[in-house]
């Protein structure tokens, strides 16, 4: 942008506010006192909305996609869960994206790396489904959470007999806002396997999650039931928690400046978000944007994965929480 024409003398001689505004406009300068919309407000606005996506529908759509498109054409066969607010076709909440993905038996999804952090919760898979992270081949079993942090190579494959379904979570909306996006396909296409590992810092195995939940005390008056954190935190922008809900016991209604996405690893129940009810079951995804009062009640012994931007907001002193 080049500096526009008004001379300092003309600006100084402005005889009215209207004349001053007229001279400021070609300079791309606005008078702060004359701004039509405020730039500060008293508490977080309701921009994104609470939303729910069902696994039975996603499963059926991915079955169709499995017939209609292969992993040669679609590097990732995934379904983006975009928040239904005007102008948005991507983000699930302000900072986070959730997507269902499926890979057929015998298929491989090419390796790549990117600056957005990513992770996945495995919903349905038989032995043989795997991911390769920086050369390490790691199994993907139902209930497992696998990490592919910022700039780590990752690709997926399925040597099993059944399609593998999972839910991806990424901080891409955050990276879109901040701009530091980099992406690179792996030079070999499919990254060679350097080693195979059941135990990896990139994998939170379901059996370990259940053991840790068994060993943890419930917080019956709290908003998260029995909760454990995966990693400390798992990734720098994304916090991961597993929550176990006792049947019929409501969690405390609360709101937080963090954006939360809940994915159902086991069981069924209902979440009440800002007065609206969402009945969920295994494999479903529920988005709770920032500052929306919400609580959960399980029908049975349910386990939820809670994916949030707490890890980002906490160190920036932007995390505020309130219970009702
Ligand atoms: Fe990726």
What structural domains and CATH numbers belong to the chain?
1-40 (no CATH), 51-203 (2.60.120.10), 208-323 (2.60.120.10)
- List beta partners, residue 101: 78, 166
Model confidence over 270-290: pLDDT tens digits? 999 999 999 999 999 999 999
pLDDT at 220: 83
Mean pLDDT of the chain: 95
Closest CA to 238 of 36, 110, 67, 95: 95
The residue-averaged pLDDT of 233-247 equals 95
Residue 68 Cα to ligand 1 midpoint, Å, equals 22
Model confidence over 167-220: pLDDT tens digits? 999 999 999 999 999 999 999 999 999 999 999 999 999 999 999 999 999 998
Residue 35 Cα to ligand 1 midpoint, Å, equals 41
Residue 64 Cα to ligand 1 midpoint, Å, equals 22
Residue 52 Cα to ligand 1 midpoint, Å, equals 24
pLDDT at 233: 76
pTM as predicted: 0.95
The residue-averaged pLDDT of 289-296 equals 98
Residue 315 Cα to ligand 1 midpoint, Å, equals 26
pLDDT at 126: 96
Residue 66 Cα to ligand 1 midpoint, Å, equals 19
- Per-residue pLDDT band at 295 (split at 50, 70, 90): very high
pLDDT at 1: 67
Query: Do residues 280 and 270 lie in contact, with contact meaning Cβ atoms separated by under 8 Å?
Result: yes
Model confidence over 33-61: pLDDT tens digits? 998 889 999 999 999 999 999 999 999 99
Residue 316 Cα to ligand 1 midpoint, Å, equals 27
pLDDT at 160: 95
Residue 3 Cα to ligand 1 midpoint, Å, equals 42
pLDDT at 3: 65
pLDDT at 217: 94
- Per-residue pLDDT band at 74 (split at 50, 70, 90): confident
Residue 320 Cα to ligand 1 midpoint, Å, equals 31
pLDDT at 4: 65
Residue 14 Cα to ligand 1 midpoint, Å, equals 56
The residue-averaged pLDDT of 57-83 equals 91
- Per-residue pLDDT band at 71 (split at 50, 70, 90): confident
Residue 47 Cα to ligand 1 midpoint, Å, equals 27
Residue 38 Cα to ligand 1 midpoint, Å, equals 38
Q: Computed from CA positions of residues 280, 283, 289, 293, in that sequence, does the dihedral angle turn out positive or negative?
A: positive
């Amino acid at each position: 942008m080049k500096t526009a024409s008004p001379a300092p003398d003309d600006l100084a001689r402005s005889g009215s506010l209207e004349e001053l505004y007229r001279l400021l406009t070609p300079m791309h300068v606005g008078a702060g006192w004359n701004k039509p919309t405020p730039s500060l407000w008293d508490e977080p606005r309701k921009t994104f909305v609470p939303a729910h996506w069902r696994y039975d529908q996603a499963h059926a759509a991915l079955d169709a996609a499995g017939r209609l498109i292969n992993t040669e054409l679609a590097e990732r066969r995934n379904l983006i869960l975009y928040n239904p607010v005007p102008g948005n076709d991507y983000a699930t909440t302000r900072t986070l994206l959730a997507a269902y993905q499926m890979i057929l038996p015998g298929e491989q999804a090419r390796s790549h790396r990117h600056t957005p952090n990513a992770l996945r919760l495995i919903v349905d898979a038989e032995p043989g489904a795997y991911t390769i992270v920086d050369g390490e081949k790691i199994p993907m079993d139902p209930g497992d959470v696998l990490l592919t942090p910022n700039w780590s190579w990752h690709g997926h494959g399925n040597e099993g007999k059944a399609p593998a379904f999972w839910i991806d979570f990424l901080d891409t909306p955050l990276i879109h806002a901040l701009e530091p996006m980099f992406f690179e396909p792996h030079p070999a296409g499919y990254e060679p396997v350097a080693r195979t590992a059941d135990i990896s810092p990139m994998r939170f195995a379901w059996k370990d999650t259940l053991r840790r939940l068994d060993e943890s005390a419930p917080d019956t008056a709290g908003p998260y039931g029995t909760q454990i954190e995966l990693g400390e935190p798992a990734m720098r922008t994304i916090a991961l928690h597993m929550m176990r809900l006792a049947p019929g016991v409501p969690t405390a209604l609360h709101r937080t400046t963090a954006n939360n996405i809940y994915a159902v690893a086991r069981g069924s129940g209902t979440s009440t978000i800002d007065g609206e009810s969402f009945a969920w079951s295994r494999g479903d995804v529920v988005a709770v944007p920032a500052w929306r009062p919400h609580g959960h009640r399980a029908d049975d012994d349910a386990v939820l994965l809670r994916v949030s931007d707490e890890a980002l907001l906490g160190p920036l002193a932007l995390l505020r929480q309130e219970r009702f």
